[in-house]
Structure 1
Amino acid sequence: MSHALQLSPSDDVAVLTLPLEAGAQICGVALRQPVPAAHKVALHAIPAGGVVRKYGHPIGIASQPIAAGEHVHSHNLIVGTHDAAIGQESGSVHAADLAPISASFDGYRREGGGAGTRNAIGIIASVNCSATVVRRIARNFEDRVFPNVDTVAPFTHGSGCGMSKAGEGFETLERTLAGYARNPNFGGVLVIGLGCEVAQIDEMLDRQGLLPGPRLRTLGIQDSGGTAQAIAAGIRIVEELIEQAGGDRRSTCSAADLVLGLQCGGSDGWSGVTANPALGVASDLLVRAGGTAILSETPEIYGAEHLLLARARTADVQRALQGRIAWWEDYAARNGADLDNNPSPGNKAGGLTTIFEKSLGAVAKAGSSPLNEVVLYAERPKARGLIFMDSPGYDPCSATGQIASGANLLAFTTGRGSVFGAQPTPCLKLASNAALARSMADDIDIDCSPVLDGMPLEEIGATIFKTLLAVASGQPTKSEALGIGDFEFVPWQLGAWL
């Protein structure tokens, strides 16, 4: 393995594959100081104000003169302006379909359409006021095993009242709750409210086209006579849902019924080189099989959106994505933030410097498929194939939106380490480097670092796709084995609280 990688012939930097001391030779230049692994080194002199490229695209502007062999990081690289980053790189609308393939999994066919990869029972709070009742009901079913039912999971949050009954905040919450209620990974759902909250259950179900029935039940605490009576009534209802779902059986389903949420968190300098592009190969395979892949985290495509705009199926899709980017620029500005605030301290310790650099690596999760649709947070896509769902870059919040949009599988890449999991959707964890795969072996499902030793991305991507089909058919992920997932329900909270 080389001591450094130049990822594109036009790059101004190379990425170290291991930590090196001053004087070490890489790509024909000598290091001027010690540089950690996964960090960047200048391949030639770069003047102050000069554009710095990685992956063949701008990642920022030199804030001072940078000498050949110098460590390139936060002390001498700034994000610059968005227009300077994307320049003339947006390109024209172009999309090339990939050759179809056939693939299947064993899943739970649902009467309302789609197929589940799990058969769970969900207990969903419409408002924070019902959170304790929801969790007390779920506690009654902890550590119990039920035939053909994977879990009984509570979903509580901090909203549902003290808000306007119209506008972004209310509409986003309603889409999220209704999206979970209809996710095919549930064999039964109980929605619990207090009774007097803004987010009225009956109104929500009616607006969202959901009908209560044997698999979708509702409960009001005030109507039940209070906390103790509501808990008792909820336990009885969940027992009935378990009995209903217990009769479900897996059968052969087309991979076209799979909706894969693409996630990354705790990214490092290798995420965009190994795990993310490997997941992109798997995403393309799923799209070729007729399935759907949802890319999200709008702040983490910022500065790299031109790569998606060039793949938009239509001009309308292109304009929709540009509209969401503009919304985020305004949203950050009016809250006194900057989208370059996104890279976390861990991201930077792992070698990432600017949001543009992070975004270029994150977009690789989407492979090379045409972009068919842009949807709002928790909105159900109308198209299949590659979809972009608007969301924050905060992993639990973004994944919550993807599950509400119908994701019955998640794939999550990480370079620094993540302990994320999600109910009711299994989450496959992909490590960008071997050290992480070893140190957090109980959390990591697949090590993507062999790419650095020469394994083709197509090979590890095919392994990821094969594993996703196995997980969809019931193979547990590491996060499922650890019982992670109910506290990671984090709906995006927007709008004023009153």
Structure 2
Amino acid sequence: MTPFIRLHPLDDVLIARQQLVGGTVVDGVTVKGLIPAGHKVATHAIAAGEAVRRYNQIIGFASKAIAAGEHIHVHNLDMGPDKGSFERDYAFGADVKPAAPKREATFMGIKRADGRVATRNYIGILSSVNCSATAARAIADHFSRQTHPEALSDFPNVDGVVALTHGTGCGMDTEGMGMQILERTLAGYATHANFAGVLVVGLGCEANQINAWLAHSALREGDNFRVFNIQDTGGTRKTVDKGIALIREMLPRANAVKREPCSASHITIGLQCGGSDGYSGISANPALGAAVDMLVAHGGTAILSETPEIYGAEHLLTRRAVQPAIAEKLISRIKWWEHYTAINGGEMNNNPSPGNKAGGLTTILEKSLGAVAKGGTSNLEAVYEYAEPVTAHGFVYMDTPGYDPVSATGQVAGGANLICFTTGRGSAYGCAPSPSLKLSTNSALWRKQEDDMDINCGEIIDGSASVQEMGQRIFDLVLATASGEQSKSEKHGYGQNEFVPWQVGAVM
């Protein structure tokens, strides 16, 4: 096995499979200095200002002359004088392909009365505002299997009672974009198939008034959906007692379910990558993309997100859009982000993070090209705004920030009943009420953090598995997890603290 990876014949870089020392000859080029694993080495001399390619796509421009065999990273590669706004060929729909033959995989799901299918069976407690978070958590704590195992002993079909609280809900424009996003997010969770019942706890005087939210979201109270305020109930203690009593009423109904064979078309996966490294776009992301293509062939849905992390690679998605309007909507979201970062004194290349850079990623263009690989090769069927209900089947896009908890929160609000999360640096993450699978990009991470990783895609880098083989393993694991097999993060108890709605706008 070679100590390097060449991704495309026209690339200007090789990727180190292992640490390379000066004097090592790779692909006919003598390495100059030390090249860490996952980092880039120049295949030839590159003049200052010249574009540098990986995946046969531009990942930046040489900020100074680069010699053959030299390490290419933040010291000699940047976004260029135009900050990455070089011309890209959007070629709307150019790569749209005929639909794959339909396939019929099944999993053991939970059928709801309205026809939706769940992968988990929780009762959820949502807070309308930060002020009611403590009460919401106290209610959930009463049913914790860790501290009160007897509370759910008679309800084995209930996965748990979870409190999903947040830090906003007041000090904001009641008609503004921030409030609209919060309302959409809470509505998406309140109606999520993985919740058998939902309790919403408010304070009473907050900007996010529960009655206004109900009206805007077309929601009404019922046996399995109850709302109330601390101020109306008479304080924290009475609120907690009332919440406990209401959940006790819901538990028998929530427990009256069974798993049965369901079509894989009912699976909706949210695609995430966090703590990425130089291998992410070579192993875990394309392997997840292969699994996505399999899911789409079975009628399922996959949601690609994190708009700041497709920046510079959006033209690879517009080419797959089934209609020009879908591609145009994606480009409009890119332009919104350029404006949004600019008015906040930032730029799109503020991402990659320090950890990403330590792992070998240099610019957002490079990171994005690897990130879009999670979306496979299927046609792009729709583009959604944050937390909008995802109604299309197939491969779709949702506009979210690149911050993983915020992004995944929007995907789950949109209907994702499972998350697949690739990481090269290491991640500790879960996402109630939807299980989260973590995919390691390299074997070193797998060996170090196996307690948190569900599958090792580093076998692709090691040469012991192909992208397609790993994609099949991911797809099989998705079916098993959707059928009730616990992910590593679920076993650790992750999921409640990772509910983070996107906050946009002034805090007043």
SS in 2 for 1:319: helix
- Cα distance, 1:198 vs structure 2: 1.6
1:396 to 396, 405, 427: 405
What does 1:458-497 correspond to in 2, within 5 Å? 458-497=468-507
Give the residue type in structure 1 aligned to 2:114. Answer: G
Kept in 1, the 8 Å contact 2:92–2:324? The answer is no
Q: What residue in structure 1 maps to residue 112 of structure 2?
A: 110
Kept in 2, the 8 Å contact 1:86–1:304? The answer is no
Give the residue type in structure 2 aligned to 1:132. Answer: T
Kept in 1, the 8 Å contact 2:7–2:55? The answer is yes
1:128 to 118, 127, 130: 130
Give the residue type in structure 2 aligned to 1:459. Answer: E
TM-score, scaled to structure 1: 0.98
SS in 2 for 1:487: coil
2:260 to 251, 265, 270: 251
Distance 2:334 2:113 in 1: 37
Give the residue type in structure 2 aligned to 1:14. Answer: L
Aligned residue pair count: 498
Distance 1:487 1:81 in 2: 40
Q: What residue in structure 2 maps to residue 23 of structure 1?
A: 23
Kept in 1, the 8 Å contact 2:84–2:312? The answer is no
Q: What residue in structure 2 maps to residue 275 of structure 1?
A: 284
Distance 2:30 2:250 in 1: 66
Kept in 2, the 8 Å contact 1:260–1:408? The answer is yes
Distance 2:352 2:390 in 1: 29
2:453 to 441, 444, 447: 444
Distance 1:138 1:37 in 2: 45
Q: What residue in structure 1 maps to residue 68 of structure 2?
A: 68
Q: What residue in structure 1 maps to residue 427 of structure 2?
A: 418
- Cα distance, 1:81 vs structure 2: 5.8
Kept in 2, the 8 Å contact 1:373–1:387? The answer is yes
Kept in 2, the 8 Å contact 1:16–1:39? The answer is yes
SS in 2 for 1:281: helix
The change in CA–CA distance for 1:283 and 1:86 in structure 2 (over 3 A counts) is: farther
Q: Percent identity?
A: 53
- Cα distance, 1:139 vs structure 2: 1.0
Q: What residue in structure 2 maps to residue 56 of structure 1?
A: 56
- Cα distance, 1:103 vs structure 2: 1.1
What does 1:230-269 correspond to in 2, within 5 Å? 230-269=239-278
- Cα distance, 1:92 vs structure 2: 3.3
Distance 2:35 2:334 in 1: 34
Unaligned runs of 5+ in 2: none
SS in 1 for 2:400: coil
- Cα distance, 1:200 vs structure 2: 1.6
Distance 1:238 1:84 in 2: 52
- Cα distance, 1:100 vs structure 2: 1.8
Q: What residue in structure 2 maps to residue 139 of structure 1?
A: 141
Kept in 1, the 8 Å contact 2:128–2:200? The answer is yes
- Cα distance, 1:206 vs structure 2: 2.5
Distance 1:207 1:82 in 2: 42
What does 1:38-187 correspond to in 2, within 5 Å? 38-80=38-80, 87-94=87-94, 95-96=96-97, 97-143=99-145, 144=149, 145=152, 146-187=155-196
SS in 2 for 1:195: coil
- Cα distance, 1:243 vs structure 2: 1.6
What does 1:294-309 correspond to in 2, within 5 Å? 294-309=303-318
**What root-mean-square deviation, in Å, do the aligned CA atoms of Structure 1 and Structure 2 show?**
1.2
Distance 2:92 2:209 in 1: 45
Distance 1:117 1:180 in 2: 14
Kept in 1, the 8 Å contact 2:128–2:202? The answer is yes
SS in 2 for 1:237: helix
Distance 1:113 1:81 in 2: 53
The change in CA–CA distance for 1:495 and 1:88 in structure 2 (over 3 A counts) is: closer
